[in-house]
Structure 1
Amino acid sequence: MLIESFLGYIRYEKKYSSHTVLSYKNDLFQFRDFVTKEIGEFAPEKIDRDIVRNWVVVLVENGEAPRTVSRKISALRSFFRYLVIRKEITDTPIRNIQLPKIRKRLPSFVKQGEMDLLLDEVDFGSGFRAVRDKLIITMFYSTGIRRAELIGLRDVDVDLMASTIKVTGKRNKQRIIPFGKELRTMIEEYRAIRAKEIGGGYPYFFIKEDGEALYPQLVYRVVTHYLETVCSLTKKSPHVLRHTFASAMLNNGAELNSVKALLGHSSLASTEVYTHITFEELKKSYKQAHPRAERKGENYGN
């Protein structure tokens, strides 16, 4: 009952996304089952640091990735903090828990030349679906929005007069993203063919042939299919295009705070990871271009 109450709290009061709520639910139910097996019942007041540590050990021994373990501990931390606020317990057992180290990986992104090739040379075909799919790719690359944000776009959120889209992000936070002439022209073309082939009166901006809103797997398949035509990245997803937008903005002179606002990040630290991408590209360019960058083992000067 306490877990269900907590899930309702983070969903309706804290405005966590449905994806986060589901992840926390699975994590907490898994922990509940572990505790019940250990002490015979799930009684939060009887849970101490040793029980939590033992659970972490079991997770690691079962091969859970460090990032997954950290997320599960984050779910527990939020849950026990909630119980303290409700005075169900006097203190939280989530203290001094040793977490496995997470190695930060640089986000994958598509090179600018490959994106130019995709949008300028690849034949998307004709008709409603072709126009829509190309606009999906361009919208991701031009605005950096998340997949859920793209799916949730409503027709009234896309303002051609102001050349902006209003995006509803995580925890229902809204932001305004500007766009340029190319995207404006494609939006006009999409709206025209949508009205002609599908009709009007649908609330969502991106729709299927039956007028219904898109769903996540459909968008994923569209992005994966077209990225496969121009790049060899192992991971080809809508989020890769979000990374591509961010790296392209920084590589072409955008300020970090501006990119943070466009991406809808709450913390600058989330955006700073993209500066590592641009630096790695800078190092690569230097080594390829400078005539003495790769010379080895010679003594010069004195």
Structure 2
Amino acid sequence: MLISSFLTYLQHEKRYSPHTVKSYHTDLLQFEKFLQEEFETDLISAQTPQVRSFVVSLMDLKISENAIGRKISSLRSFYKYLLREQALKKNPMLLIKAPKVPKRLPVFIEDAKMDLLLDGLDSFDESFSSQRDKLVLEMLFGTGVRLAELLLLKETDVNFYEATIKVLGKRNKERIIPLHSELVIQIKNYIELKSLQKFDNKSTTLIVSNPGAPAYPKLIYRIVTSYLTLISTQDKKSPHVLRHSFATSLLNRGADLNSIKELLGHSSLAATQVYTHNSVERLKTIYKQAHPKA
């Protein structure tokens, strides 16, 4: 009951995405199971030492620092909610610290490789599914939208006159992203092709599955992974990699950080500054290759 009401709060008051709500749910169920099996107690009765034991157990399982940090964040939010609802008096999370996460540079695909995939290879035919797949890749790489934002896009969110799309981001914040001319044409052609399909139910969602239903996360992951495999041997091949590629490409071509921040929908500049490290590493590589003293 406590978990259910908390998830409703996240969904309707905090406006968290379904994916985020599902992650919180998974984390809380895992902690609840741990408490029952190890201490024969429940969420409402949990104490700080028991939370610490949970964190240690995650480390013993070789769970990554990022994943542990997320689970701690889930528990913090949950117990803050319980305090607000006056369901408990003492917060067991006050003295809990998340493990330090080593800084990693965002993984991205070079412009030349994306050009090869989208325009150089015979990767796409004229079928609806193939044109849909290409649009997915073009949208992720050409606008930097998140996976959840792409799935929420409707045909009416595209402004062909202004060459923009209206995106509903985190915390229900709207932002406008410009489209390059080729992408505008591609969206028009895709919508026309989509209208000709004999779907049982015609969805107004921009990206749809082969039967015409709104697209879902696994479909987008499958599309991105299968096509990126054609041009890249790196392990990470996800929709977010194309978002990183979008931001890195803009920065390398002279875009200022504040503009990139607005396009990505980041709430703070600190989140955007991580891309500057990629540019610095690129400059170091160029320097080592080109300078006689390097």
Q: TM-score, normalised by structure 2?
A: 0.92
Larger radius of gyration: 1
Offset of 1:96 from its aligned partner? Answer: 2.6
How far, CA to CA, are the matches of 1:27 and 1:202 in structure 2? 33
How far, CA to CA, are the matches of 1:209 and 1:40 in structure 2? 48
> What one-letter code is carried by the residue in structure 2 that aligns with 1:75?
S
How far, CA to CA, are the matches of 2:154 and 2:85 in structure 1? 38
How far, CA to CA, are the matches of 1:16 and 1:91 in structure 2? 26
Per-residue Cα deviation, 1:179-234 (whole angstroms, up to 9, x for no partner) = 11111121222223233345896311122343222222222222222222222221
In structure 2, the residue matched to 1:116 is 115
In structure 2, the residue matched to 1:47 is 46
Aligned positions of 1:282-297 closer than 5 A: 282-293=283-294
- Structure 1 runs, 4 residues or longer, greater than 6 Å off: none
Residues 1:135 and 2:135 aligned together: yes
**Cα-Cα RMSD:** 1.9
87-96 or 199-208, which deviates more: 199-208
Offset of 1:120 from its aligned partner? Answer: 2.0
Q: Secondary structure at the match of 1:166?
A: strand
Q: How many corresponding residue pairs?
A: 292
Given the superposition, is the C-alpha separation of residues 118 and 57 from structure 1 closer, same or farther in structure 2, using an over 3 Å criterion? same
Given the superposition, is the C-alpha separation of residues 29 and 179 from structure 1 closer, same or farther in structure 2, using an over 3 Å criterion? same
Given the superposition, is the C-alpha separation of residues 202 and 78 from structure 1 closer, same or farther in structure 2, using an over 3 Å criterion? closer
In structure 1, the residue matched to 2:86 is 87
> What one-letter code is carried by the residue in structure 1 that aligns with 2:34?
F
Contact 2:32 2:43 in 1 (8 A): no
In structure 1, the residue matched to 2:237 is 236
In structure 1, the residue matched to 2:68 is 69
How far, CA to CA, are the matches of 1:50 and 1:209 in structure 2? 51
How far, CA to CA, are the matches of 1:283 and 1:269 in structure 2? 22
Contact 1:198 1:209 in 2 (8 A): no
148-157 or 204-213, which deviates more: 204-213
Residues 1:267 and 2:268 aligned together: yes
In structure 2, the residue matched to 1:300 is none
Unpaired stretches in structure 1, ≥5 consecutive residues? 294-302
Q: TM-score, normalised by structure 1?
A: 0.90
* Aligned-pair identity (%): 47
Unpaired stretches in structure 2, ≥5 consecutive residues? none
Aligned positions of 1:1-302 closer than 5 A: 1-42=1-42, 44=44, 46-123=45-122, 124-198=124-198, 202-293=203-294
Offset of 1:169 from its aligned partner? Answer: 1.8
How far, CA to CA, are the matches of 1:7 and 1:189 in structure 2? 40
